[in-house]
Structure formats: structure tokens, C-alpha cells
A and B are shown apart, each in its own frame.
Chain A
Amino acid sequence: MTIIDETAWSPAPDGAEEDGRPLLEVRDLHVEFSTRDGIAKAVNGVNYSVNAGETLAVLGESGSGKSVTAQAIMGILDMPPGRIPRGEILFRGQDMLKMSGEERRKIRGNRIAMIFQDALSSLNPVLSVGYQLGEMFRVHQGLSKKEAKAKSIELMDRVKIPAAAARVNDYPHQFSGGMRQRIMIAMALALEPDLIIADEPTTALDVTVQAQVMDLLAELQREYHMGLILITHDLGVVADVADKIAVMYAGRIVETAPVRELYKRPAHPYTKGLLDSIPRLDQKGQELYAIKGLPPNLTRIPAGCAFNPRCPKAQDICRTDIPLLSPVTERDGGELAGRGSACHFWKETIHG
């Protein structure tokens, strides 16, 4: 089972800046699942793009569609019950949804890799980590078992696992949570992909270990000049590493902004609610803000703006018209690069 495909993808140096194409571009992506209760619309027209060397943070509650979008990009959605009725996922300008299964497989793990949330369940419990790492080289590059093992040790060294050579034959359960997540990162990095999707990579870890793992990821990303899509519900994680943020709600992007801008001046009531619900030291003694209500049932998304039942600013129009993601500007109309909001009242939210 040795498939050599190094010729298939000769990456243009330095991502895609020179031909003006982003590394990855998601266009009007829709994903739905058939369930017992009807069709669950998990993703409803998502657009985003990532350039080489850039970090996009996708923020949202559980069920906002952020992970489903990532799985659609990876091509690991369960279909059925999943279905992609509409949309394009362009990787270096080519629509991956139109590719054959074999073409997509060769991209997976090789050009686009993914880091999962729970490393313990995401690693195969009965295979040694060395085997699981080496598999990348054996399958995608046709290396021998011995060469693959040497590469695995090298990789484990690179993600700073102590005594790599001694531990290469250990099994996932023999590592600590942080070390396991490093192994997941090593696996994603193995073939030096152009894009890494990290789906809540630190949620399952202790707070102290979280920072270490995030730092490692950011460092390696810089070193390899990779694009990174960081999926999280934790605003704290995002601030230090991301370049830009896309906030998702009920399968739509409700706000996009460069990271600092978003924290300073949110342009969507949902984002504002999320920011207000972060505990802050200067508000000691006050009751913590929480967005009231629950995320919508995806089989019955409310008409109009999906957030309207929970929104403090909701008006009649919010219950009838779906707000489109439109550019956000300064009060005087001055351009705010990279900012957009899908709210009828974004002006009031950002400037009011």
C-alpha cells in the first residue's frame, strides 16, 4: 500500500499571495443531515478564506456548524446522513467537492491535516504511537517501516516529547493528556501540510497545558508557514494566536473581523454577548452576564435572523428578514478592512 504522489501537488512557494488566490476558500457552503426529526441544517451558506501563514479562528457555541464546516473541508463527513447540497471548497483554486474520492484522499493528511479535540479517543488505542505516526509516511510517501519509524522519532522530538526514541513504541494510553495532544499535532504536521484545521485542540486539556500546546502549535505554524483554521468556543484561546475571527451561529457566519478589532468593538449582538460573558477581574462581585436561551434546534431554525429569540435588540424585521453578512464601516463611512456583520442593526451595535 505505497502510493507516491509527490508530483500531484507541487505547492507554489509561499501560499498563494502572488496569484491573488487564498490557500483555502469556502464559498456558500451548505451542509444538512437527515435525522429522525427531519432535515437538520447544520451549515447554511458559510464563506471564509485562509491564506498561507494566516490563522483564522472560527468561534461559536456547540451546534453553530463550525466543526461540520471543518469536516466538510476535510471530506470526513458521514454521508449519509450528511449531505452537501450547495457550495464550493476551493483548495489552491480547485474545488475539492468536485474531485474523485481518491484525489481527495491524497490531499487529506498530506496537504490538509486535522487536529482533533480528544486525543485519547482520536488515537487508535491498540496501535503504538510510532506506528500511527509512521503510517503517514508509509502511505503517502511509500517509506519503509524502518524509515517511517526514524521519521516518527524525529517528529516526536519536534513536538518536544521527551525521550522520543524510547517512547516511540508506547501506546496512546501511556501518555499524559498534553503529550497525547502533541502526538496529534505531530501527526498533523508529519507531511508538512499547507493547511491545518485544529478542532478545539486544547479543550480537553488542563489550563496550564493548554497554553503550552497552543504556543507549540503557533510556533510550528510560523516555522512552516502554514494556514491554520482554529475552531474554538473559547475566546481566551483565540486572542493571542489568531489573525482574524469568524463568529458562527446556527450554521452562518454572523461576524468577521481582525482579532483585535473584534474584541474592541463587536458589531453583532451575539459577539457582544459572548464577550460580555467572559469573567473579568475588574467586574468582581457582579453577576456574570449570560446569553439567555439556548441555541436553536437545527431542524427548525427560527425565521429571519436565527439569533432573534435570544437577542436583546431584536425588532420586527429580525423575525422576518435574514440579515446578510455586509461590510462594517466607521461611523463616517470609512472602510474597516476585513470586517463584516450579519445584523440589521450593526451600526447601533458597533457605534451605539
Chain B
Amino acid sequence: MPDKTIEKTVDALPGDSGRTAVAAMTDAGPAPEKARSLWSDAWHDLRRNPLFLISAVLIVFLLVMAAWPGLFTSASPRHADLAKHYLGAPNWTNFFAADWFGYDVQGRSIYARVVYGARASITVGVGVTVAVTVLGTVIGMIAGYFGGWTDTLLSRVTDIFLGIPFLLGALVILNSFDDRTVWVVIMALAFLGWTQIARVARGAVITVKQSDYVVAAKALGASTTRIMFRHILPNAVAPIIVVATIALGGYIAAEATLSFLGVGLGDSAVSWGGDVARGREQLRIAPHTLLVPSVMVSITVLSFLMFGDAVRNALDPKLR
């Protein structure tokens, strides 16, 4: 049918039969449909991809949990009942109850902490992704569009930032702050992480810039801003989205790792990484105190990675 991605058919058929299939697609069917756009094509692919559906459901679930944790538990994540201590063992079948995953070393409900911990991970992950996307796109577009010494300068700056090991840089910055709010963490990670998107954006802009329609728009005297926003940005958006969605999972993992190392959100915040760090002394006697938040981190990262993977496959079938 005409709305299938053409590349895949070409792959499936060697030799000239593939080319015909492509040619034939345009005239097949009683009412020849116009070639659909990249986006509607991608959406068509995504709707049928089970990985996408599973991850989308999980992500919605996590987003709701981050926004309204009270919907999931009535227990408070900060209420410490020392009588339960960490010996308050998990009750694996008591779903959604305060003792579902047991109690931590201070007698706090692990289930409640896991629910309330979603907010830190999701906010930081989404926040950093938005920040690096904006920052990287702007820098990459400027470098790619103007070229010349602007490009040379910005590319050198990109090289310099790439030279700083991400985790180490984040440790150094965050360690300097005594009061690490969500914004501090987001800014620190965005400060170090924009390079990847900038490179992708720069590459995409350079490709689009050389295309005939942009050359034509220029020849017709369109202004720089008009060309940037009307012609270049819309066409550079797909690769940027692909990189950003996949990076999102990575930033969530980074937040958890930094919290684990004790330089994530401040001590008063509830975060999975921090709970893992606090639970490590109990690994031998009460492994659930750190394995439960660990698993939550992994599920969250996995959801976003699967989501990113599906989006990439839909937007760029050649990458499969």
C-alpha cells in the first residue's frame, strides 16, 4: 500500500523488482493516495509497534506517578516508624499497600518512597533533555548555518566540552553546591550535555542548507531568520528528536547515579538513587531496601529507551 515506508520494500526485494515495487506503489490502489509525510508515516509505524505501545503506557504511568504520587499511596515517604526498622519485611502480595516492598532502615515505607521518588527522576530527565535540546539546537544551527569562523569557534568549544568526562564534570559542579535543587541539577547536566545535540543539529542544518529548496529560497531573497525557521528547522527536527528521546533515558540514569554518589538532589529530596545509596549497608541482610529502587530506576530508563528506539525506527527506517 502506498503508505508503507518505501525503503523497507526496497530492502526486501533485491535487484530491479524493488524499484518496481516502489514505482508500482505510487499507482496502486483504486484511489491513489498522496505520499504521506514523514510524520504521518512514522505515526503509522509507531501505532503498530508493540515496544512503542508498552513503553508509552509505562511512561504515562510514570508521568502520572511523578505528578500525583498521592494517587498511588496514602503512606508518606518521610514518615519513619522506627518500630518497623528495616526488619519490616516486604509483603510481596499486599499490592499497593505501605508494606508492599517492606520498610527501610529508618522504618519508612519503601513503596511510598519509590512512588514519591519518580518525581525527581522524571523532572530531572525531562528538564535536562529539554534544556540540552534547546541549547544544542541553537548552537548547532548557528554553527551550521553561518559556517566560517563562527562554525570553527563553536566546533572547538564543542570539542572542549566533549573532552570533559560527563560524570566527572557533573560530580565536580554539583559537589560545589550545598543546596542542590532540581534546577541546579538540570543546569549542571545541561551545561555538560549539549554537545551531542549540537553536533547532530549542525550536521542536519548543513545537509538541509545545501538542498535546492533552501538555495532557491535564498536566491529569492528570503531573510536569514525566515530561512532558519521556515525551511531549515522543520527539516532538521527529526534527527534532533531521535537523539533527544534516546538521551532522555540516559539522563534519568545519570540523575540516579549522581544521587547514588551523594551529589544528586539535596538530602531532603526523595530519590531512587539516594535510596539505593542509603540501602547499600543493608545489601546483605535486607537486599530489598536497595533492589526495589534499583529496579524502579531500570524500568524507568528502559521505558524511555524503548520509546526512543521506537521513535528512531519510525523516523529513520534506514537506521534499523
A: residues with CB less than 8 A from B are 33-37, 40, 42, 61-68, 70-71, 77-78, 81-82, 293-300
How far is the CB of B233 from the nearest CB of chain A, in Å? Answer: 33
Q: Which residues of the partner chain A approach B19 to less than 8 Å between Cβ atoms? A: 62-63
B1 nearest CB neighbor, chain A only: A37
Q: Which residues of the partner chain A approach B16 to less than 8 Å between Cβ atoms? A: 62-68
Q: How does the 8 Å CB contact mask read for B1-41 relative to A, with 1 for contact and 0 for none?
A: 10010001100111111011101111110000000000000
- A64 to B9 alpha-carbon distance, docked (Å): 17
Q: A36-B8, A36-B9, A63-B19 are in contact. Are A296 and B14 (CB under 8 A)?
A: no
Q: Which residues of the partner chain B approach A35 to less than 8 Å between Cβ atoms? A: 9, 12-13, 21
Q: A36-B8, A297-B28, A298-B21 are in contact. Are A71 and B14 (CB under 8 A)?
A: yes
Q: Which residues of the partner chain A approach B17 to less than 8 Å between Cβ atoms? A: 33, 40, 42, 63, 65, 67-68, 298
Report yes or no: B4 in contact with A40, Cβ–Cβ below 8 A. Answer: no
Question: A33-B17, A78-B14 provided; 4 other pairs, C-beta below 8 A?
Answer: A35-B13, A36-B8, A36-B12, A295-B23
How far is the CB of B31 from the nearest CB of chain A, in Å? Answer: 15
B: residues with CB less than 8 A from A are 1, 4, 8-9, 12-17, 19-21, 23-28
Q: Which 8 A-B pairs have the closest CB atoms?
A: A63-B20, A297-B24, A67-B15, A42-B17, A62-B16, A62-B19, A67-B16, A297-B28
- A182 to B16 alpha-carbon distance, docked (Å): 23
Name 24 A/B residue pairs within 8 A (Cβ), A-sorted: A33-B12, A35-B13, A35-B21, A36-B4, A37-B4, A37-B9, A40-B17, A42-B13, A42-B17, A61-B20, A62-B16, A62-B20, A62-B23, A63-B17, A63-B20, A63-B21, A67-B17, A68-B14, A70-B15, A294-B24, A294-B27, A295-B20, A295-B24, A298-B24
A72 nearest CB neighbor, chain B only: B15
Q: Which residues of the partner chain A approach B13 to less than 8 Å between Cβ atoms? A: 33, 35, 40, 42, 81
- A281 to B169 alpha-carbon distance, docked (Å): 73
How far is the CB of B44 from the nearest CB of chain A, in Å? Answer: 12
Q: Which residues of the partner chain A approach B15 to less than 8 Å between Cβ atoms? A: 42, 67-68, 70-71
Q: A42-B17, A62-B19, A63-B20 are in contact. Are A297 and B25 (CB under 8 A)?
A: yes
- A157 to B16 alpha-carbon distance, docked (Å): 33
How far is the CB of B90 from the nearest CB of chain A, in Å? Answer: 47
Q: Which residues of the partner chain B approach A42 to less than 8 Å between Cβ atoms? A: 13, 15, 17
How far is the CB of A41 from the nearest CB of chain B, in Å? Answer: 9
Q: Does more than half of chain A's interface fall in helix, strand or loop, or is it mixed? A: loop
- A281 to B28 alpha-carbon distance, docked (Å): 36
Q: Which residues of the partner chain B approach A298 to less than 8 Å between Cβ atoms? A: 17, 20-21, 24
- A75 to B15 alpha-carbon distance, docked (Å): 13
- A300 to B27 alpha-carbon distance, docked (Å): 12
- A71 to B9 alpha-carbon distance, docked (Å): 18
Report yes or no: A63 in contact with B23, Cβ–Cβ below 8 A. Answer: yes
- A64 to B12 alpha-carbon distance, docked (Å): 17
Q: Which residues of the partner chain A approach B12 to less than 8 Å between Cβ atoms? A: 33-36, 81
How far is the CB of A208 from the nearest CB of chain B, in Å? Answer: 26
Q: Which residues of the partner chain B approach A65 to less than 8 Å between Cβ atoms? A: 16-17
Q: Which residues of the partner chain B approach A77 to less than 8 Å between Cβ atoms? A: 14
- A152 to B26 alpha-carbon distance, docked (Å): 46
- A36 to B4 alpha-carbon distance, docked (Å): 9
Which of B17, B20, B25 has its CB near the most chain A CB atoms (within 10 A)? B17
- A67 to B26 alpha-carbon distance, docked (Å): 22
Which of B20, B24, B26 has its CB near the most chain A CB atoms (within 10 A)? B20
Which of B8, B12, B15, B25 has its CB near the most chain A CB atoms (within 10 A)? B15
Report yes or no: A296 in contact with B9, Cβ–Cβ below 8 A. Answer: no
Q: Which residues of the partner chain B approach A33 to less than 8 Å between Cβ atoms? A: 12-13, 17
Q: Which residues of the partner chain A approach B23 to less than 8 Å between Cβ atoms? A: 62-63, 294-295
- A37 to B20 alpha-carbon distance, docked (Å): 13
How far is the CB of B297 from the nearest CB of chain A, in Å? Answer: 38
Q: Which residues of the partner chain B approach A71 to less than 8 Å between Cβ atoms? A: 14-15
Q: Which residues of the partner chain B approach A297 to less than 8 Å between Cβ atoms? A: 20-21, 24-25, 27-28
How far is the CB of A294 from the nearest CB of chain B, in Å? Answer: 5
- A66 to B16 alpha-carbon distance, docked (Å): 8
- A294 to B24 alpha-carbon distance, docked (Å): 7
- A82 to B17 alpha-carbon distance, docked (Å): 11
Q: Which residues of the partner chain B approach A70 to less than 8 Å between Cβ atoms? A: 15
How far is the CB of A26 from the nearest CB of chain B, in Å? Answer: 16
- A293 to B12 alpha-carbon distance, docked (Å): 25
- A297 to B21 alpha-carbon distance, docked (Å): 6
Report yes or no: A294 in contact with B1, Cβ–Cβ below 8 A. Answer: no
How far is the CB of B269 from the nearest CB of chain A, in Å? Answer: 49
- A295 to B1 alpha-carbon distance, docked (Å): 16
- A352 to B29 alpha-carbon distance, docked (Å): 36
- A71 to B17 alpha-carbon distance, docked (Å): 12
A36 nearest CB neighbor, chain B only: B4
- A255 to B303 alpha-carbon distance, docked (Å): 58
How far is the CB of B81 from the nearest CB of chain A, in Å? Answer: 58
Which of A81, A297, A298 has its CB near the most chain B CB atoms (within 10 A)? A297
Q: A77-B14, A82-B14, A298-B17 are in contact. Are A63 and B9 (CB under 8 A)?
A: no
How far is the CB of B296 from the nearest CB of chain A, in Å? Answer: 38
Q: Which residues of the partner chain B approach A82 to less than 8 Å between Cβ atoms? A: 14
A34 nearest CB neighbor, chain B only: B12
- A36 to B28 alpha-carbon distance, docked (Å): 14
A66 nearest CB neighbor, chain B only: B16
B19 nearest CB neighbor, chain A only: A62
A78 nearest CB neighbor, chain B only: B14
How far is the CB of A111 from the nearest CB of chain B, in Å? Answer: 22
